[in-house]
Structure 1
Amino acid sequence: MKKGANIQLQRVIGYFHGTMFLFSIIIGAGIFMAPKGVLKYSSLNVGVSLSIWAACALVSMIAALSYAEMGTTFPRSGAQYYFLKRSLGPLIAFFYLWIGLFSTPAGLAARGLLLAGYIAQPFYPGCSVPEMPKKCLALAILWCLGILNARGVKEVAWFQTVSTVVKMTVLCFVSVTGIVLLVRGRKENLARFEKAFDAEVPDALQIAEAFLQGLYAYSGWGILVQIAGELKNPSENIPKCVITALTLVALIYLLVNISYLAVLTPKEIMFSDAVAVTWVDRVFPSMQWAISIGVASSIFSSLNCTLLAASRVLYIASQEGQLPLILSTLNSHSCPAVAVIHTLIFASLVIIPSDLILLINYVGFTNWIQLGLMMMGLLKLRFQEPNLPRPYKVRLPFIFGSMAMSLFLVLTPMIKSPKMHYFYVLLFILSGLLFYLPFVHLNLDSTYFNKITCFLQLLLNVSPTDDINECISAEETLQKNPPEIAAKKV
Structure 2
Amino acid sequence: MQLLRAIGFFRGNILIFSATIGAGIFVSPKGVLKYSSLNVAVSLSIWAVCAVLTLISALSHAELGTTFPRSGAQYYFLKRSLGSSVAFLSLWIKLFTHPLRLATESLLLSTYTIQPFYAGCPAPELPKRCLALAILWSLGLVNTRGVRTVTWFQTISTLAKMTVLCFISLTGIVLLAIGEKENVARFENALDAELPDVSRIAEAFLQGLFAYSGTSILISIAGEIKNPGENIPKSLITVLPIVAVIYLLVNVSYLAVLTPKEIISADAVAVTWTDKIIPSMQWVISFGISTSILSNMCCTVLSASRMIYTASQEGQLPSIFSMLNNHSCPSMAVGQIIILTSIVIITSDLINLIRYSVLAIWFLRGLHMIGLLKLRYQEPSLPRPYKVPLPFVFGSIAISLFLILTPLIQAPKLEHIYGLVFICSGLLCYWIHVHLNQHSVCFFKITCSLQLLFNVSPPEDHDELPIVAQQTKNLTSP
Query: Which range, TM-score by smaller chain?
Result: over 0.9
Tell me, yes or no, if the aligned pair for 2:116 and 2:282 is still in contact at 8 Å: no
Question: Which structure 1 segments of 5+ residues have no match?
Answer: 1-6, 473-490
Residue of structure 1 aligned with 2:218, choices 212, 217, 224: 224
Residue 11 (structure 1) aligned with residue 37 (structure 2): no
In structure 1, what is the equivalent of residue 70 of structure 2?
76
Residue of structure 1 aligned with 2:136, choices 114, 126, 142: 142
In structure 2, what is the equivalent of residue 453 of structure 1?
447
Aligned counterparts, 1:111-130, within 5 A? 111-130=105-124
Residue 22 (structure 1) aligned with residue 22 (structure 2): no
Tell me, yes or no, if the aligned pair for 2:112 and 2:271 is still in contact at 8 Å: no
In structure 1, what is the equivalent of residue 352 of structure 2?
358
> Aligned in 2, Cα 1:441/1:90: closer, same or farther, shift over 3 Å?
farther
Residue of structure 2 aligned with 1:212, choices 206, 211, 217: 206
Aligned counterparts, 1:93-242, within 5 A? 93-242=87-236
Query: 1:113 offset after TM fit, Å?
Result: 1.7
Q: Cα deviation per residue 1:25-79 (whole Å; 9 max; x = unaligned)? A: 1111111111122122222222221111110000000000001000000000000
In structure 2, what is the equivalent of residue 469 of structure 1?
463
Residue 88 (structure 1) aligned with residue 114 (structure 2): no
Give, in whole Å, the separation in 2 of the partners of 1:217 and 1:456. 37
TM-score by length of structure 1 reads 0.92
Secondary structure of 2:191's aligned partner:
coil
Residue of structure 2 aligned with 1:417, choices 411, 435, 438: 411
In structure 1, what is the equivalent of residue 328 of structure 2?
334
Aligned counterparts, 1:315-394, within 5 A? 315-352=309-346, 355-394=349-388
Tell me, yes or no, if the aligned pair for 2:72 and 2:222 is still in contact at 8 Å: yes
Secondary structure of 1:431's aligned partner:
helix
In structure 2, what is the equivalent of residue 51 of structure 1?
45
Residue 311 (structure 1) aligned with residue 311 (structure 2): no
Give, in whole Å, the separation in 1 of the partners of 2:369 and 2:438. 32
Give, in whole Å, the separation in 2 of the partners of 1:33 and 1:444. 42
Q: Cα deviation per residue 1:256-279 (whole Å; 9 max; x = unaligned)? A: 111122222333323333221222
Give, in whole Å, the separation in 1 of the partners of 2:332 and 2:321. 5
> Aligned in 2, Cα 1:471/1:242: closer, same or farther, shift over 3 Å?
farther
Give, in whole Å, the separation in 2 of the partners of 1:123 and 1:188. 30
Query: 1:415 offset after TM fit, Å?
Result: 1.4
In structure 2, what is the equivalent of residue 487 of structure 1?
none
Query: 1:216 offset after TM fit, Å?
Result: 0.9
Deviates more, 1:183-192 or 1:146-155: 183-192
User: Aligned residues, how many?
Assistant: 466
State the one-letter code of the partner of 1:410: I
Tell me, yes or no, if the aligned pair for 2:31 and 2:351 is still in contact at 8 Å: no
TM-score by length of structure 2 reads 0.94
Secondary structure of 2:211's aligned partner:
helix
Secondary structure of 1:464's aligned partner:
coil
State the one-letter code of the partner of 1:255: L
Structural RMSD (CA): 1.6
Aligned residues with identical type, % of pairs: 65
